[in-house]
Each structure stands twice: as C-alpha cells, then as structure tokens.
Amino acid sequence: MTDSKNTTAETNIVQAGIGIDPAHASVAPPIYLSSTYVWPNPTDKGAYDYGRTKNPNRDILAGALAELDGGAGAVVTSSGMAAIDLVLNLISADDLVIAPHDCYGGTHRLLTHRAKQGRIRVAFVDQTDAKALEAAMANKPALVMIETPSNPLMRVVDVAAICTAAKSAGAISVVDNTFLSPLRLKPLELGADIALQSTTKYINGHSDIIGGCVVAKSEDHVEQLTWWANAAGVTASAFDCHQTLRGLRTLALRLDAAESNARSIAKFLQGQPQVNAIHYPGLETDPGFALTQSQQSGPGAMVSFEIKGGLDAATAFCRSLEIFKLAASLGGVESLICLPETMTHAGMAESARREAGISESLLRLSVGIESESDLLADLSESFAAIS
C-alpha cells in the first residue's frame, strides 16, 4: 500500500492493493475465492487458514478503509447492518445505547428489537436538542450512536461535541458515516472511537454489492471487533471485497460529481412552488449549513424535500420520473428517489416516524453522476406532470 505520509487519500484509495500480486505480478489484485488454505504444518497455520476468519481481498479492503479513516484497523462485514450489530458486542447486557431519533430505519429496528430481547437498553434522542442530549448522557450510556446528516431529514449534528459528551459519560462513540464517507467527514479525527459505514453505498458506489465496515481508533477495539466478526461469521465475501475495492478507487471522482449535481438540484427545488421544504445542508438557508462548513469538507449528495399534496402527490411524482429510479438505497452512480414513509423507514412505528419529523410527503433523493441538465429536466417534467 502507498505510504499515507507522502500521498493524499485520493491517491491511496486508487493505489490500494495495486501491484502486490506475488504469484504473477498482476496489477489489479486477484480474487482469492478459496474457503480454506493449506497449512505449512499442523502447528503453523500460515497467514491464512479459513476464509471466514481472514481473506486476502478482505484484508486489502480493510487496510484501505482503515487508512482512509485514520483508524488502527478495520473489520469488513457482510452488510452495514452487520457492522452496526457488530459494535453492540463491545457493550454488556443491559447497557444503555443512545441513538438519534431520526436514524436509518433499519438501525432503529435493530436497536429496538435488541432492546426487546433484553440485550441492550436504548434511548432514541433528538441529538440536535442540546438539553435532550444532556439529559440522555446523564443516564450514563455505554455507547452513543451518531448519524450525520441524518436519514432522511439531513439534520447535521456536532460530531466533536457529542463525542466529547460521550467520553465524559464513559461511553464509546460510534459514527455511522454512510451518507458522507471519510472523504467528506472524518469521525475519528473529530473524537469518535469508531466510524462505521454501509459500504453498499458510496464506498462501493455501483449498487451491486451489500457490505459494511467498522473502523476503530484503538487496537483494543479492532481486536475485539475482529474476534466477534469471526465468531459470529459476519465477515464479507472475497468477491464483494474485490468489487468494493474496485468501487473505492473512484470514490473521490464520484462524490465530487454527485455533490455538484446535488447542489444544483437543491437550488432548483428552492424555486419550485410545489415544494414545501428542502433539506440539504449545502444550502446557506439550511440549519445544518454552518456545521457542515466547519466539520466537513462537503455536504454530500443526499437531498430530501416535502412535496405539496401529501402521499398521493409524492407517489405520483415518483411514478412520473424516468431517470431517477424508485429504489431504497443511495450512494450509487445512478440517481434514485425514495419515499421513506413506505420504503426505507417503513420498519419504524408510525408514531416514531412522526416524532422524528418524517411525513408521508417527504421524498429523498440520492443524486447520482448523470448529466446535471438531464437530472434537472427529469425533475422539472415530473413537477409539471403532477401540477
């Protein structure tokens, strides 16, 4: 791997694993699909023994992701949810987890049901509300989850401040950085103990694998997480790691292009009479703008907005789009739209959705890298079609 002391993150992610093949000097790393490995002798298992435990493709990807986040190491998991569940192994039964009240619906569901099983206790808190956060920290959480910008309302929270408060309360701080990636937000530099992501999204960027990763600041956490990932069997497959590394190489270019499109789309939406509210922290009028400027290197490419006319208008709008596909994911090169009410956040109780501010006419865009004019025309034609 490239020496990160002399080269930029953009160069390091392109170079990860390039030209390291000892067998045939291939430039791109080969895929090691073997589930098991020959032992040199019965008392020496060599570098690799069994694919669930360790795999060369997973190791290259883990090394690149750990370096990108500035961590002591990384564990690459079979999904983003597996990454989130993995970190829960760092705390004990009955410990308290604090999570954002408007976190990803799957995270909300997992934490709620782990709590119902009696594995943890959970409190969902509006992390933009300093008083509510202070009150929650007084209950001595063991783990504080942060997700910024939040999904789907794009609320930005002060990562450094929450990590400091978590530390004072004796809690491990964990940032779900799926929406931005380490090229936009560096959670470990802001004081977090752990940065995790669904690599299904921007890291891979082509909507053709499901994966996750956990990067920890301390060797001790890396060791514990590696142990649990092997014990529970949540490590990612060799093929998915190979694909993800391939996607990672173009992350910088993809993010720049998607973010530039997202800025134009957010401005376009500001001028739309059929739009009630826009949530994009790259807009100066957004409540998260100042924090985005100070703690990140860009607002990312996710935009959400409220359309006038309730669920019927939201549904009609989605159906009339052609380039934006109606699908529940994000971070790919292609543009997607989703209706959190019935899609990504359907796993949350309706009351929890309302409490989090998710209405039935909220639409979420994952802006891709297609031409800006085509994306604007697609949106414009759909507004015209439903007016």
Please tell me whether residue 368 binds ligand PLP under the rule CB under 6 A.
Answer: no
Instruction: Look up 58 and say whether it is catalytic.
Output: no
Instruction: Look up 104 and say whether it is catalytic.
Output: yes
Show the binding pattern over residues 45-84: x = contacts ligand PLP (CB under 6 A), - = does not. ----------------------------------xxx---
Place of tokens 């929450």: 162
What single letter denotes the amino acid at residue 56? P
Where in 143-182 is the site for ligand PLP (CB under 6 A)? 147, 151, 176, 178-179
Instruction: Look up 3 and say whether it is catalytic.
Output: no
Cα–Cα dist 346/342, whole Å: 5
Show the binding pattern over residues 88-127: x = contacts ligand PLP (CB under 6 A), - = does not. ----------------x-xx--------------------
Place of tokens 């829960």: 88
Min. distance of Cβ 35 from ligand PLP in angstroms?
Answer: 23
**69, 74, 281: which is closest to 183 by C-alpha?**
69
Nearer to ligand PLP, 119 or 345 (CB): 345
Instruction: Look up 126 and say whether it is catalytic.
Output: no
DSSP letter at 302 equals E
Please tell me whether residue 244 binds ligand PLP under the rule CB under 6 A.
Answer: no
Show the binding pattern over residues 317-356: x = contacts ligand PLP (CB under 6 A), - = does not. ----------------------------------------
What single letter denotes the amino acid at residue 356? A
Kindly state the number of chain residues that form the binding site for ligand PLP, as judged by CB under 6 A. 15
Min. distance of Cβ 5 from ligand PLP in angstroms?
Answer: 31
Helix (H, G, I), strand (E, B) or coil at 213: strand
What single letter denotes the amino acid at residue 63? G
**Long-range contacts, 240-243 (Cβ 8 Å, 24+):** 240/78, 240/209, 240/210, 240/211, 241/55, 241/57, 241/58, 241/60, 241/61, 241/76, 241/211, 242/29, 242/31, 242/57, 243/204, 243/206, 243/208, 243/209
Instruction: Give the residue numbers annotated as catalytic, written as ranges.
Output: 52, 104, 176, 201
Q: Which residues bind ligand PLP (CB under 6 A)?
A: 79-81, 104, 106-107, 147, 151, 176, 178-179, 198, 200, 210, 212
